Structure 1
Amino acid sequence: MYEFVDTDEMYTKTILPAEAMSYNGVFIENEIPGYRTLYVSGRELMESEVQDETINLLDGTNYLGKRYPPRTITVTYQLIASTCLEFRDSFNKLNRLLKDEQVKIIFNDEPDKYFIGTKIGNSIPSPGSNSITGNIEIYCSNPFKYSDILKEFIAEPNDNGVLEVTVINDGSVSVPIDYEITHNAESGFIGVVSDKGTMQFGKIDEADKEPYEQNERLGTLWDFINLPNDTNGTDYMHPSHSVKGTLGTSTWFDQTFLTLGVSGPISSSSNGGLRTLILP
């Protein structure tokens, strides 16, 4: 598609090249006069690294698997300035625009796709000229290209009343799926099943309409404070020791605390105070 302007009209909008790069949401052409993207390389097919092993005198190798290494995208640009001052100012702006790390990289001919990358390198401009061509290198530790469009698939009940959905992935690699489930009634269990595995949430043996409290308060500090001393109880951490002590209370900055007191003869096989609270 080409854009035409009537000869009688003033036209101030910047026409972006097809491969113009948006770095962290900003097209450089819109920020730096005289800057223009010429072409881009490195965003085509992903390279693969194969891991295999040699087994004695057997022919060939034993294939183990492959991985996708990082990619580097090279942007070749032209920069023209009328004066040395403008030329230097353009590079100051370019440094500011490219300083951020791990940002969205979008190209004008694929506005719905993006890479995640960081500027790592560039060519050195030839000295003594205000009109140069150069390269900018964008390092993508994650070599994949992602879509900006969120696809939604709605589950429908099958003949057995079970909700089913077919998820279509037109990309070249697997992607995670987000599930959004809205209940029309109380349910204690959810199961999501696919050919990749099963996810289960809740209690499958819980009867519907049976209420369960997520949290229940079983006791407070005041329940312990208001209990009587238990001199006949059992110290479960040291069951062979007797309990001879008592517990009292004291106040410090309007806060009540339990304190340890002693009554009766104390021996090496005796413990301090004890109060026993039976929790439901």
Structure 2
Amino acid sequence: MSKFFRITDIIRPIGNKRSVSTDNAPLLGVNIQQVKIGEKEHIIKFDIKTTNAIEMEQLKHDLAGILNVLEPVKITYGDEPDKYYMGLPVDEITPENLTRWFQRSELKIIIPDGVAHSTTLKNFDIDTNETSAPDRIVFNLINTGTEPAYPIIRIKHNSENGYIGVVNNRAAFELGNREEADTEKYRDSETLIDYRGTNILKGFQNGTKGVAVTNDNKERLVGTLSTTSMWGRNHIELSNRGTVEKNRNNAQSLTWAIPVDSSGEVGSLNDYLLWRQVFMAAVANQYGFIKVTVSDTDGNFLYGVETYKRYQTLDCEYSFFTTDGKGGYKFIKWWYFTGTGAQVGKLDPFSAEKGWSELKRNDDRVQVFFDGSHYDFIIPEIKDKKSAKIHITLGALRDWPLVSHMYVDEFMYRKDFVTKSRDIPNRYPIGSNVVINSEDDSVYIDGISKVSEVVDGSHWPAIPPGKSQLELYFSRFVKKKPTVTIEFEERWI
């Protein structure tokens, strides 16, 4: 704010506003009914100095615009470099006119949440902060703040698991099913293809090029796929579309056969596809498409989705289509979005920061995930037809400019309801990542919001001031403990 004024003093009261509700005691004193700790108020005193009256009034207008906020913003002070506040100005600011070019005033800031936050997260990992216990993971935590901290707990599973319990002296929190066991016959899920993270490079090597089965099979699979790196991730891209024929779309593809499951069965009626893609156009006159399709054991198209930019606008399509049972295909539903990525990231579900997509099939029922919501459909034409191969196709339209950022980053295929005689189906497979965020009361599993996994009656974890322990419990049948990290902002009243 030095552009607008020179701060002469900052008044930060010790603690917060307090209100005490009482009623009369029978003989002496009062009974305390309630003690409420309110917000913080900061007073910033400052001088404004310019060279003339016109410059002074314009500076005041500019300052008013900066202070015109409708919700708390981050505030830092030079004498508290390790802390920040979330506040906003209140009341009017009336300057004292010492001269027309030199004025003095003060600004009142309210801190609604009533605390100062640490600027850095405090981190605890399983290697340095765990107390060994056979049936649980116990973290020894230190919160040097004066208020409870709300942790972000990251769990990477090293074996199958169906339950997560988080307990300390403040709260008990549960995900999944505590009673889930693996001592009976059951139908389980198996991750048969896992090219998440850096494994996408392995997926690129293992995939068969140029044999994709799509909804219409009209693409000329003559282009070149390659890998690139951006935003700290590896991507598969269409690096060369190849020689163009008039009015034809060139593309190239990767195909993965669904592996045989542990029971020896080939093909599947119960698919779960999870992948991450980027689809961001730099300008309106860029075009292209990504198709993710599934074919059956006879090599025929079953179902899939496509992300498509076909017009000289910023409008893009996300479409779900299936076989029509007659050798052709039919569109089931379209969704539309603005494919401009980081420029208006909230409008593009496939920006660099987002991009997670999933398809789930249970025989003739298919669930499609798009932009935070799930959509369910019944498709009679695919009933009893086993999925056999998965195809990813990246394509260009004619010789028109290609979408600047059109990538596939990660892919995972899980087969559900595999008949087995050991563990029952577990909701958290090997390699899955669970994030429990007490700051915003959210749960993410492999990048997908799954707050519905929280058991009724749970209380979100909070770390009390000082030294404390946080215990994590998992299913009894877990063979290898997960890798767990905990991080949180410290807070001061």
Establish whether TM, by shorter chain, passes 0.5.
Answer: yes
Identity %: 21
Q: Which runs of 5+ in 1 are unaligned?
A: 1-27, 224-280
Q: TM-score, normalised by structure 2?
A: 0.36
Report the AA paired with residue 52 of structure 1. Answer: T
> Secondary structure of 2:150's partner?
coil
Instruction: After superposition, give the CA deviation of every residue in 1:122-167 in whole Å (9 maximum; x if it has no partner).
Output: 1233275211211111122222111121111123251435311022
Aligned pairs, number = 192
Q: Does the 8 A contact of 1:188 with 1:208 survive in 2?
A: no
Cα separation, 1, equivalents of 2:364 and 2:188: 15
Report the AA paired with residue 61 of structure 1. Answer: V
Q: How does 1:152-167 map to 2 (within 5 A)?
A: 152-155=123-126, 156-160=130-134, 162-167=136-141
Q: How does 1:78-227 map to 2 (within 5 A)?
A: 78-101=47-70, 102-120=72-90, 121-126=92-97, 128-155=99-126, 156-160=130-134, 162-208=136-182, 211-212=187-188, 216-217=362-363, 220=378, 222=380
Cα separation, 1, equivalents of 2:54 and 2:379: 74
Report the AA paired with residue 93 of structure 1. Answer: D
Cα separation, 1, equivalents of 2:33 and 2:140: 31
Cα separation, 2, equivalents of 1:93 and 1:43: 29
Label 1:67 to 1:81 Cα distance change in 2 as closer, same or farther (>3 A).
same
Q: CA deviation at 1:60?
A: 1.5
Partner of 1:38: 8
Report the AA paired with residue 88 of structure 1. Answer: E
> Secondary structure of 1:143's partner?
coil
Cα separation, 1, equivalents of 2:15 and 2:177: 46
Q: TM-score, normalised by structure 1?
A: 0.60
> Secondary structure of 1:114's partner?
strand
Report the AA paired with residue 138 of structure 1. Answer: I
Q: Does the 8 A contact of 2:95 with 2:103 survive in 1?
A: no
Q: CA deviation at 1:186?
A: 0.8
Q: Does the 8 A contact of 2:45 with 2:106 survive in 1?
A: yes
Label 1:51 to 1:177 Cα distance change in 2 as closer, same or farther (>3 A).
farther
1:65 equivalent in alignment to 2:34: yes
Q: Does the 8 A contact of 2:364 with 2:379 survive in 1?
A: no
Report the AA paired with residue 164 of structure 1. Answer: V
Partner of 1:267: none
Q: Does the 8 A contact of 1:187 with 1:208 survive in 2?
A: no
Cα separation, 2, equivalents of 1:43 and 1:79: 24
> Secondary structure of 2:22's partner?
strand
Q: Does the 8 A contact of 1:186 with 1:208 survive in 2?
A: no
Larger displacement relative to structure 2 (178-187 or 116-125): 116-125
Cα separation, 2, equivalents of 1:171 and 1:99: 31
> Secondary structure of 1:153's partner?
strand
> Secondary structure of 2:143's partner?
coil
Report the AA paired with residue 29 of structure 2. Answer: G
Q: Does the 8 A contact of 1:190 with 1:201 survive in 2?
A: yes
Cα separation, 2, equivalents of 1:129 and 1:178: 52
Report the AA paired with residue 76 of structure 1. Answer: K
> Secondary structure of 1:44's partner?
coil
Label 1:199 to 1:79 Cα distance change in 2 as closer, same or farther (>3 A).
same
Which of 1 and 2 has higher RCO (CA within 8 Å, sep 6+)?
2
Q: CA deviation at 1:110?
A: 0.9
Report the AA paired with residue 68 of structure 2. Answer: K
Label 1:160 to 1:87 Cα distance change in 2 as closer, same or farther (>3 A).
same
> Secondary structure of 2:149's partner?
coil
> Secondary structure of 1:58's partner?
coil
Partner of 1:227: none
Q: How does 1:195-274 map to 2 (within 5 A)?
A: 195-208=169-182, 211-212=187-188, 216-217=362-363, 220=378, 222=380
Label 1:110 to 1:143 Cα distance change in 2 as closer, same or farther (>3 A).
same
Partner of 1:23: none
Stretches of 4+ aligned residues off by more than 6 angstroms:
none
Cα separation, 1, equivalents of 2:24 and 2:363: 64
Q: CA deviation at 1:39?
A: 0.3
Q: CA deviation at 1:185?
A: 0.8
Cα separation, 2, equivalents of 1:73 and 1:53: 32
Report the AA paired with residue 135 of structure 1. Answer: E
Label 1:221 to 1:79 Cα distance change in 2 as closer, same or farther (>3 A).
closer
Label 1:61 to 1:211 Cα distance change in 2 as closer, same or farther (>3 A).
farther
Q: CA deviation at 1:115?
A: 1.6
> Secondary structure of 2:56's partner?
helix
Q: How does 1:47-62 map to 2 (within 5 A)?
A: 47-55=17-25, 57-62=26-31
Q: Does the 8 A contact of 2:52 with 2:100 survive in 1?
A: no
Larger displacement relative to structure 2 (105-114 or 211-220): 211-220
